[in-house]
Amino acid sequence: VEGAPRLGSAPRACAQGRAPSAAVGPMAPPPALAAPALRRLLASALLAGFASGRGDPECWGGGLTGDFCCDTKKGQTGDIQCWDGDYTFERCCGASVPVQRSPLSTRPGVASYDVAQLLVAPSSVPGLQLLGGGSMPIAGIGMCCRPGANGDAARQAVLDYLLMGGRHIDDATVYKNHAQVGEGIRQAVAAGVPRSDIFLTTKINPPHFGFETATDWVARSLQELGLEYIDLVLLHWAAVPTDGRACKDPKQCRQETWLALQRAKAKRQIRHLGVSNFGERQISELLALGGAPVEANQIEYHPWVPELHLQTAEFCHRHGIVVTAYGSMGSAGSAAQMVTQDELQEMGRAHGKTGGQVLLRWAVQRNVSVIPGTSNPNHMSENLRIFDFSLNAQEFVRALFLTITLGSAR
């Protein structure tokens, strides 16, 4: 297929010139085997499978054996060249993928003193429908870029947020707090919050792009989090590794990563896939693969972003792709200034709300998810209480005027 990545361990569909999909044929075997003949070899050598003593005997034959494929010295799921959506480590090796939990996983969690007075009904937060089925809460908490998102403070913030009634957690590898975020989630589950109600997003960054590297990233992230699955994984931004590895062409690199995550999705290790900081062209390249849909795009989004961001959001909405806003109260260097603008404060007072709540409401009324970051339980509760008022048409015009004013001052 024109533009399809050339993978060292690509699905058979790629090797035969067909568009890849979420459930493709077995991965190419070791070089000594002819990939197009693999299924015939498997069928003709069925008896050899019984001799292997491993899982489903249909998996083995034609040079593929349990000893070769199920050897966990090669990785958490054996040799990754052997598996795809039909032939998995679990099926063929008769074993589940081990998830090593954090040694802190049994430590009881205690909410901060004021959380009990700040409860928000989870049902009050609407969900955005995802192309892969199910929904994502339109309001969440971001775990980036503040002292309270590091160390044990990150665990406490996640625990407080979930016990308060929030259900959407946004994280990333580069935030370096997977272990603490995962522990906070596990403690909340132990306290009675259903895991199925929690929506965890994390992001894979370019140093982990590439087919094999991304495959390893999934296993390592699950281990760091101490969880059995991740609800949504995003490609964090559209770049390439800089460490000299083979994955150098930007388009190929992103597509290889997508195919690796697509395989993890088929194994239910990941439930949904998306991107972050991607534009229309980069999203279209992934859509052209014809496999798992791009279900979300996280971009900076607030009333004074460049026009390109607004156009990207419109493109996503036309294609059913959920948009999540980071910096929904303003970019990192200007948020404190923006939420105190007189126009916003005045609009907030009319509804008994703050300027920050007005900005969050502006986004959700445009069908955009928000993930403001805070470790203060009072602010967490405030950021969830944005669904009991609406901005009218006149207030939206005032927000546009604010955009012009701020834009001219930059």
Reading the block at residue 12, the tokens are: 């058979």
The catalytic residues are 175
Q: Give phi and psi for 66, each to the nearest 5.
A: -60, -35
The Cα 275–Cα 295 span in angstroms is 8
Tokens 């991304």 — which residue?
214
The Cα 180–Cα 154 span in angstroms is 6
Q: Give phi and psi for 198, each to the nearest 5.
A: -90, 135
Cβ atoms of 62 and 29 within 8 Å: the answer is yes
The Cα 198–Cα 210 span in angstroms is 29
Tell which residue, 175, 234, 224, has the closest CA to residue 204: 234
Reading the block at residue 74, the tokens are: 């090669």
Tell which residue, 332, 308, 337, has the closest CA to residue 149: 332
Which residues are 27's β-sheet partners? 11
Encode burial over 172-210: b for 16+ CB neighbours within 10 A, e otherwise: bbebebbbbbbbbbbbbbeeebeeeebbbbbbbbbbbbb
* C-alpha distances out from residue 95 to 10, 120, 224, 408, Å: 24, 41, 21, 61
52 alpha-carbon distance from chain centroid: 37
Q: Report H helices in 206-354.
A: 211-225, 250-266, 280-287, 307-318, 335-338, 342-351
